[in-house]
Structure formats: structure tokens, C-alpha cells
Chain A
Amino acid sequence: MARRPGTGYLGVVVRRGSTRGLDWRLGPAESGLLGHLAYSQRLTVRSRTERNWLGPSPSWAPQADLFSPRSSHSGGKLTLLCDAKTDGSFLVHHFLSFYLKANCKVCFVALIQSFSHYSIVGQKLGVSLTMARERGQLVFLEGLKSAVDVVFQAQKEPHPLQFLREANAGNLKPLFEFVREALKPIDSGEARWTYPVLLVDDLSVLLSLGMGAVAVLDFIHYCRATVCWELKGNMVVLVHDSGDAEDEENDILLNGLSHQSHLILRAEGLATGFCRDVHGQLRILWRRPSQPTVHRDQSFTYQYKIQDKSVSFFAKGMSPAVL
């Protein structure tokens, strides 16, 4: 399968004996798209016939940067997830289970849902968050529970969510120090985990909790400097797009993050409304903030349907329900 330069590696998994008679040789495999996206995050799959929705097997090998093979800088990448008029949290669940399966050290700042919620979904996707947390692979900041602690109990040392206590909290420095502490490499001899990953779900709630857009951008800037540049890890953050609601702070946050990210995944609801068979469409935009791209067609749009344990992708108008 030929690689088109500068567009990543599409069509990694070819579906054999497709029940619908469609061969996605040059498009994303039906369930391999998100796995493919993760391939651009420097991981590779051991066997192409493994129809593993969630990407690579635990033994992985670092792959050269797909976008510019000559680049010597192999820093981490920032992936921005945003959703407009739909719920993009399925992407968060995917990336969480994907990175846990890839043996990465994951720091998950979960401000929206409880630990048990992610754990239940993770079990469907094949990872056990409880075990990952116990063996030290997952550092989980449960925002909902910690918020109660920080407000109702006196803390001796600064809590990551210290800004909830303070009337004029200027910055998210305690949260950044929590992240840095969680992901800093342990000098215990052999490296147990591959590379660190920071996952945030989600950043828009920080705006609702009183932080300014610039303070959140500063937090992400420092996380990028530490996680992506210093530790060569990856970052995945989710921001909601308010769309017509004209939320200026959210727009500043979303645009500011878009300019800094390498990959933007945008889950949108269908323009025509709710549909039972097509839950939305996913727009993928690859950006290289400082490298020129020879071919500019770096944007793709696919429609998807969320199923119980996987998500199926198809080109626009090619939903199995209408074919």
C-alpha cells in the first residue's frame, strides 16, 4: 500500500470479506481510523491483519515521524478534540484506553465525570482503569470528588484545584505542578512505561469555574513545554465549541489551542439534525505549526456511528443504513 507523502498512513487495515462488499483500501478502515490517528502519534501496529480497533499491541516500536521523515525533532504532539452540537467524549474514551494499552504513563485530569464512569466505559473497550491506577500507570485526578475536598476541607499543601477556593485565582499553576509531578520520570533504573501522556476532559469547564481563557491557555502552554517538549510525551485535550452561543472566552480558548495543536479532531452533529444511524461527522485537520506542507489537503471528514464497543466510520453518504 503506497504511502502518500505528507498525509500519514491511511488504509492500514484492509477489511477482508467485508459483509458489505466494500473495500476501504485507500480510505480508513471501518474501525481502524482512530487507530490510524494514533499511528501518527508515533506508534505502530505489529500485524496489519489484527483488526484491533484500539490500535497497537502492547509491544510497540517508536516510529519515525510520519509527516517529515527528515525531521530530527521528535517532540510530542498536542491533539485537540472539540465537539460542536454533539458529544465528543467517545474520543476521550478511545484515547484513554488506547494509551493505556500502549503502555504509556497517563495523567488524566477528569473534571467532568467520575472515575467509575470512565472505568465502566474502559472495561467495554478492554482496559481496567482500576488496575492501571493500582500499578501506577494511571494518575487520575477526579475533579468531582476533589472539588468537594478542596472546598470543604482545609488543605495543608496547595491542591491542584486550589483555584476553587480562591476568590481571585489568577492562574492554574497548582494544577500544572500536579501534572508535572505525576508525569515526571522516576529514576528507578529501567523505564516501565513508554512515554507520558496528558489527557484533559475537559477545558471548557475551567472557564465555567471562573478561570479566564488566558489562564487556561497559560496552563496548556506550560503543560506543552513540559509534557510535549521536555518529556517528549503527547497531550490530548477536549474543548467544547459553543457554536452559535457566542462565548468569546471559549472562542479565544478554542482558537488559541487550535493554533498550537498538531491534530484537530472535530466531532460535529449533522447539519440536518439527529439521526439514528449516523451520529455525527468527524473532521480531521492535520496541522504542522512550524513545518511547511507541500500538499495542503490535510483535512478529512468522515461520518460515524457509535456502537456499544466500537465506533464505525464511513465516508459521507456511505452509511450502511442508506446503501
Chain B
Amino acid sequence: MTPSEGARAGTGRELEMLDSLLALGGLVLLRDSVEWEGRSLLKALVKKSALCGEQVHILGCEVSEEEFREGFDSDINNRLVYHDFFRDPLNWSKTEEAFPGGPLGALRAMCKRTDPVPVTIALDSPSWLLLRLPCTTLCQALHAVSHQDSCPGDSSSVGKVTVLGLLHEELHGPGPVGALSSLAQTEVTLGGTMGQALAHILCRRPRQRPTDQTQWFSILPDFSLDLQEGPSVESQPYSDPHIPPVDPTTHLTFNLHLSKKEREARDSLILPFQFSSEKQQALLRPRPGQATSHIFYEPDAYDDLDQEDPDDDLDI
């Protein structure tokens, strides 16, 4: 059994998740956080791609090559092409060993390949690049790499390209994260609760509505996926059937309901500040038995009695 057949003979559900993540191609963005790290899922996807016979390139900026290759068998390790940008990414040692142009140059160089073999590029991580490069530069490079196979013209013989990127969500603002996620065909956000990891998977298929699913999972030491049901939810506390439910509306000291007569009386009530025609008539009619009122005013000693109307000069 070749390794690729062996991979396909695994449990159906496990393959579904990894397959669905790798099936669309393009950019697969893994968003992780400090508490729920995503590098193990990235390595699981890398292992899956390698077992399926694809050419796998790894642009490693954040961890050393030994640490990344740790946990893979030798046959998988032989299929991985590792570009090491961990040791001297900024060329401080001035030895020019590093790839000229750094990780971005290597990414751009992948655009120029012409062989028809499907290739997977694992970018570890776009966060590292995003902190040091303008967002637009990185987005343009990622778009160019991940959309090679959809370009018309003589590049139609180029095989499918899948770019796996591990993005650390807390390091960037919503703008850059949103820009990268809009470029992604598949987006996996990692979270979890109570010791169980959860993946929210958002797939954007062309000409279809984006699909959203969640999956509880855990990754085994050999970087294969183990799908799970999720943490058990505690059952709701049930009410005791022997105690009848109590009606809170009994024994009230106020009236919750109105009788018919009370309702009619309430509806016919005129509100004091509502100006109706009756009120107008009542005001216009002189009230019987009331003489005009007088106001008696005794001015104080310091009072300033000015007979002029201060509003006289207003030209209304």
C-alpha cells in the first residue's frame, strides 16, 4: 500500500476535515491564538499533503527547522523542502547565506514555477511577514502565488497551488486580518473550551455561498487528526415533579386585571394636557361668577420701575 493509499484508507471523517481544507486550493488561513496554538494543525495539513504526493515547500520564519520537522517520519521529512528563514532572517550576520529578498523573495519566486505538479506551500507564518512588511505587499504576493492556476494563458499547465498560512490573530488589527481572510479560500479559526480544541471552518467556494462548520478535534502525536464530539454539556437541572409550580400572580396587593366597567372609564378619561375641542370651548367661555382678578404689587425700595417695554425695538 503506497503512503497515499494508506492516507485515503484512514477514517472517513478524519479525511473529510483535512481533505475539505486542502480540496479548494488557494490560500488556507489558520488563525490561532496564544491559548490555542495552530502549528500542530499546520503540521497535520503538511503531513497530509506530503502523503498525497504533493510537493511541499515550507517557508519557516518562526521556528527552527529541527523543531518543525520534529514528529514527522523520515519519509515525510524527505518530501519536505524547507527554506530556513529562522536563523538569520534579517541578514545580521552579513554572510549572505539567506535567500536574497528574505521570505517574501522566496514566496515571489514560487510564482515563477512552471511544472504541473500540485504544490503546497506552508507559510510559517504570515504574521511574521505582516509585522515587517506593508499589508498590501504581502497580500499581493499571496494573491499572486495562490491564484497562479486560475490565470489564463500559457500558465494553464501549472498544477494546483495550496498555500497554508498560520496567522496569529492577536498580533494584528482587524484591518490586516480582514484583508488576509478575504484572500483566503478556506479559513480555520481555532478556539476551544475546557481543554478541547475547536475549529471554525469557513469555505469560500467559487460561485457558491460560503459554508461554515465547526469541528471539535485533537491532534495526535504523529500529527494525525482525531475528530471528537465535543465536551459533554452538563444536563439542565430539572424541576421536581412533586412540587407544583407556583403562580406568582396570586395574592397580589394590587390589581393586575381591569373589569369591563373600569376599562370603559379609563378609555373615556380625558388627559389633562390633551387639547380637545371641549377643552377649547371651556377655555373660551367665560367662567361664571368669577370677576377679573387684580394683582396688588408693592414695589420694594430698590426696585427699578421702568415703564418701557424692552421688546419694543423688536421688529416683528
Contact = CB atoms under 8 A, between A and B. Distances in A.
B220 A296 contact: no
Given A72-B70, A290-B67, 13 more contacts: A75-B64, A75-B67, A171-B90, A173-B92, A225-B86, A225-B88, A229-B87, A255-B168, A256-B171, A285-B34, A288-B37, A292-B219, A296-B218
Nearest to A74: B66
Given A260-B62, A287-B34, A218 B90 contact: yes
A296 B62 contact: no
A137 interface: no
A225 B195 CA distance: 31
B79 interface: no
A289 interface: yes
Interface of A: 68, 70-73, 75, 171, 173, 176, 214, 217-218, 221-222, 225, 229, 251-252, 255-256, 258-260, 264, 285, 287-292, 294-297, 299
Given A68-B221, A214-B132, A225-B87, A290 B70 contact: yes
B99 interface: no
B168 A290 contact: no
B192 interface: yes
Contacts of A72: 70
Interface in B139-168: 168
A27 B180 CA distance: 44
A188 to B, nearest CB: 24
A296 B195 contact: yes
Nearest to A68: B221
B63 A290 contact: yes
Contacts of A70: 221
A146 B8 CA distance: 62
Contact of B131 (A171, A217, A251, A294): A217
Contact of B220 (A75, A218, A255, A292): A292
B131 A252 contact: yes
Nearest to B71: A291
A301 to B, nearest CB: 14
Nearest to A258: B34
A222 B92 contact: yes
A292 B68 contact: no
Contacts of B195: 295-297
B170 to A, nearest CB: 4
Contacts of B171: 252, 255-256, 259
A290 B40 contact: yes
16 contacts: A73-B67, A218-B90, A221-B89, A222-B92, A225-B87, A229-B67, A252-B171, A255-B170, A259-B171, A289-B67, A290-B43, A290-B70, A292-B218, A292-B219, A294-B220, A294-B221
A292 B39 CA distance: 8
B64 A229 contact: yes
| Top 4 closest pairs, chain A to chain B, by CB | A292-B219, A292-B40, A296-B195, A255-B170
A227 to B, nearest CB: 12
A287 B35 CA distance: 8
Contacts of A290: 39-40, 43, 63, 67-68, 70-71
A70 B37 CA distance: 21
A291 B222 CA distance: 9
A171 B90 CA distance: 10
A81 to B, nearest CB: 15
